Structure 1
Amino acid sequence: MDRRSLLKASAATGAASALTLSTVTFAQAADGRGEQSRRVTGELPTGAPDFVYLPIEVPSGVREIHVAYSYDRPTVPAGTQGNACDIGVFDERGTELGGRGFRGWSGGARTEFTISAEDATPGYLPGPVGAGTWHVVLGPYTVAPQGLRYEVTITLRHGPRGRTPRPVYPPQRARGRGRAWYRGDSHLHTVHSDGKRTPREVATAARAAGLDFITTTEHNTHSAHAAWDGLWGDDLLILTGEEVTTRNGHVLALGVDPGTFVDWRYRARDNAFGRFARKIRQADGLVVPAHPHASCVGCNWKFGFNEADAVEVWNGPFTLEDDVSIAEWDNALVAAVRGGRPWLPAMGNSDAHREGQTVGLPQTVVLADDLSRPAVLAGIRAGRSWIAESAAIDLAFTALGGRGRHAGIGGRLPAARDERVTVRLEISGAPAKGTVRFLTDQGQLFATATPASGSGTVEWQTTPSYAAYVRAEVRHAPADGGTSGVPGPMAAMTNPIFLGDH
């Protein structure tokens, strides 16, 4: 297969760099029946463009398109990335960045997919196989020094076009408990991307974890938005979203309108992220950078936080990467409070993909006016939330001033600079031999052991001149007994309460 052109700032895709291959053509079926296949092979060098487009001329009368692909995995030197190649497809409406042609993406999770009007492989969208130029897109994520040899087989099956089912999306509210604290996990994967659980299995696991809401966030596809029919209920609100997986980091499009697709084909240097952050907000969703300091290839967040509505500082079982994310977030809090600028709330999610990865570890607990999409998103955006490793831990965090004045998480307690303020943490389900920490813009100013019973109240007094904000952490005992000075894993943490009149 010869290259047609190496496109930089391609007008066709809007991507920073892409390679378009020669077009594959098919004959019109004489009797309107049967199938045809074409096999394409090629090789990509190290440093290949992010996306390689294979145009397919689809004639009229096609009922179904099937694509299978494979690539080699040669042995590479220690410390060197081997071959990894993703796949997806755009239909006859084109490959324009943010355009209407997207029909599905499975990343590296599948070796084949099928699309027809009636049905599609998870990760892909059912609908008519229209005549025109389709594009199979390969995403060479990493390429070995020896290069990446690939093979793509396209099969067109002719016949009468079927009927596309009308998508059924989750409702926007559940019964709830009125204004209350609601527990949720807003970073979850199913078989619609690289997860191993079905939507039904995720819903079951969410209920077992004591969650009130979840968000479906598949990598680079919205195919799962219509996959939850019958799985919601009075006890479980299901929000729709996407994990926008770019080469320079991942961001959750959290709670967007059902059916919203957010493109991912850009890097930080392309100055395109702002456009898609606006699209997320126009779809009434939140922009939440995910696991900003994750060590996996392409996971580290490089777009900055100016467009963010919140940030995922705790992703799955607590690790050093989460501690780094929390430290960065806390530094940003300090800069915001001292500069009089808006602050960025923190949240935590499980990013669970398969059995052995716990849905609801961690979970974000949100104060919302009711169990509805608008109310939950408003609570997250306002920072009226805290993070827990499970539903077994509960807390209430308040700041109290004179004459009955008080403020909760995400709020502000008006008080004179030198007025005495009492900070109170009521906790249950705390880990044995753990630590309660109160942190401010000056760093940690108070710490004590968790109550021996796991339940109790911890209080500390300060003034707005000494602490512009206070937030709480509940930590497990350090694995090394504290000899290194490194705190133990997180059990729960809050967003801040701000102190003072400004």
Structure 2
Amino acid sequence: MVTSERITGWIEPGADDWVYVPIDVPPGAREIEVAYTYDRPAVPPGVRGNSLDIGIFGPDDEFRGWSGGARDRFAINASEATPGYLPGPVWPGRWQVVLGPYTVSPQGISYELDITIHSGPDGESFRPRPAPARIPGRGHAWYRGDGHLHTIHSDGQRTLPELVADARQAGLDFVVSTEHNTSSAHLRWGHHATDDLLILNGEEVTTRTGHWPAWHLPAGKWIDWRHRADNPDDLRRFVDEVRGAGGLVVAAHPFSPCVGCSWEFGMERVDLVEVWNGPWTLDDEATVIAWDSLLRAGRWVPAVGNSDSHSRADRVGLPHNVVWSRGLSGDQLMAGFAQGRNWIAESAEVRLDFTATTGIRTVGIGQRLETDDPVTFEVRVEGAPDTHIRMLDQTGPQWGGYVHKDGGTASWTTRSRYSRWVRVEVRRNEPTQTTVDTMVALTNPIFLG
């Protein structure tokens, strides 16, 4: 038996972040289908039009899926579900379609929901197949990985196997699956896993006051995104949930100009900050400046960089992280990131070595050298011809060098009384549409004292 219902409604300007539409599902339901439309009236320049997201919760506020604005319909049954949604029994009781008015025109949003419920016996139960938790690595080594990626399970264009292929082509050792507000991809990565690419589970928790990728979640773990920066207790609770599961919290693209993308939560509770997101742009420059200001003030949040790839034209691994780890497992990689033992590269062709030495003691990125003696900082860069090395401390740029086609080096000696830390940038004198040059590599600091 099939039953259908059409629900209409209107959302006024200034509405709450989430609008819930109740759906009563009878016993014996096998599948629920939801389709929606909404009006998109013309608006004058400088006025935002309508954009309406969608997802669904089952009885008792059980999360069952989210597609944002990427789809206009979805279906759920015990055997399968639309990407972004979780297969499983269609329990009887009150479900809630959740609408997210991302932007609302002055006219408001008029919407229609078409609900179709199919009754009958369930099909074969869905069998989750997550990716392996570890793969063979190279022991203690630098590992390359992209921690911000999207597929058809949220608003990306790539399928799961396409993302795996592109990550391997980019020379990566690991990726973190970070779909917007859903864990659905976690349960399917095992079908596409290889023995040379570790796939970690994550979620880009997409709030209206900033986005924060949660890294290294247990397969199927979902983090609630229904919170705002004006209630810091909510963020604290969810951050504790991520850390309790062994993961880390990343402040994504803090100065991104898209609606709801800029970071309003502050840096007190995050583990990492994404200072470089996709091809180098003005908002990345702004983030590095803000991150550097925190460093100067004595507050270090380790920096990461990721592609945030959505479309097939977005290059996976531009940029990516190069993190020192004891091996290729989520726990080992998270330890390296938490310690700041990471630098960011434009591509796998870029190779960088950065150390600080006094006497017989040498330390690297993210480490501290406690000494009052002179300390020599040395950086070697390869695979980035016609670029410039910059060494910076808390007072600004201090030394540099040129990278030829066969590589380049720079060496500078200072003391802890002068420099609290030193970090490295490698830039190409190539303007983008919004910046005067292009970042090629960026390191976390080495600390003195």
* TM-score computed with the length of structure 2 as normaliser: 0.98
Aligned to 2:278: 316
Opposite residue 36 of structure 1, the aligned amino acid is T
Unpaired runs of 5+ in structure 1? 1-33, 95-100
Matched, 1:408 2:360: no
Matched, 1:71 2:38: yes
Opposite residue 320 of structure 2, the aligned amino acid is Q
Opposite residue 302 of structure 1, the aligned amino acid is E
**Secondary structure at 1:204's aligned position in 2?**
helix
Aligned with 2:392 (options 416, 439, 457): 439
**Secondary structure at 2:189's aligned position in 1?**
coil
Aligned to 2:292: 330
**Secondary structure at 2:190's aligned position in 1?**
coil
Cα deviations by residue, 1:147-176 (Å, 9 ceiling, x for unpaired): 111000000001102232231111111111
Aligned with 2:403 (options 433, 451, 472): 451
Matched, 1:489 2:443: no
Aligned to 1:140: 101
Cα distance in 1 for partners of 2:19, 2:149 equals 28
Maintained 8 Å contact 2:186/2:201: yes
Opposite residue 363 of structure 2, the aligned amino acid is A
Cα deviations by residue, 1:151-202 (Å, 9 ceiling, x for unpaired): 0000000110223223111111111111100000010000000001001000
Cα distance in 2 for partners of 1:360, 1:106 equals 24
Cα distance in 2 for partners of 1:270, 1:161 equals 41
Cα deviations by residue, 1:72-97 (Å, 9 ceiling, x for unpaired): 11000111110000000000122xxx
Maintained 8 Å contact 1:431/1:491: no
Q: Which runs of 4+ in 1 moved over 6 A?
A: none
Aligned with 2:269 (options 298, 307, 311): 307
* Identity of matched residues, %: 53
Aligned to 1:476: 428
**Secondary structure at 2:250's aligned position in 1?**
strand
State the Cα distance separating 1:52 from its structure 2 match: 0.9
Aligned to 1:31: none
State the Cα distance separating 1:457 from its structure 2 match: 2.0
Aligned pairs (5 A) from 1:182-197 = 182-197=143-158
Maintained 8 Å contact 2:146/2:321: yes
Matched, 1:467 2:419: yes
Supply the RMSD in Å over aligned alpha carbons: 1.3
Opposite residue 50 of structure 1, the aligned amino acid is D
Maintained 8 Å contact 1:475/1:487: no
Aligned to 1:383: 340
Aligned with 1:48 (options 9, 15, 18): 15
Aligned to 1:249: 210
Cα deviations by residue, 1:9-59 (Å, 9 ceiling, x for unpaired): xxxxxxxxxxxxxxxxxxxxxxxxx20100011211111111111111110
Matched, 1:280 2:242: yes
Maintained 8 Å contact 1:122/1:192: yes
Matched, 1:421 2:382: no
State the Cα distance separating 1:463 from its structure 2 match: 1.2
Maintained 8 Å contact 1:176/1:234: no
Maintained 8 Å contact 2:400/2:410: no
Cα distance in 2 for partners of 1:493, 1:297 equals 27
Opposite residue 444 of structure 1, the aligned amino acid is P
Rg comparison, structure with higher value: 1
Cα distance in 1 for partners of 2:255, 2:236 equals 21
Cα distance in 1 for partners of 2:124, 2:231 equals 39
Aligned pairs (5 A) from 1:100-179 = 101-179=62-140
State the Cα distance separating 1:487 from its structure 2 match: 5.4
Aligned to 2:220: 259
Cα distance in 2 for partners of 1:466, 1:180 equals 31
Cα distance in 1 for partners of 2:436, 2:9 equals 51
Aligned to 1:97: none
Unpaired runs of 5+ in structure 2? none
Q: How many positions carry a matched residue from both structures?
A: 447
Aligned pairs (5 A) from 1:73-88 = 73-88=40-55
Aligned to 1:238: 199
Aligned to 2:230: 269
Opposite residue 441 of structure 2, the aligned amino acid is A
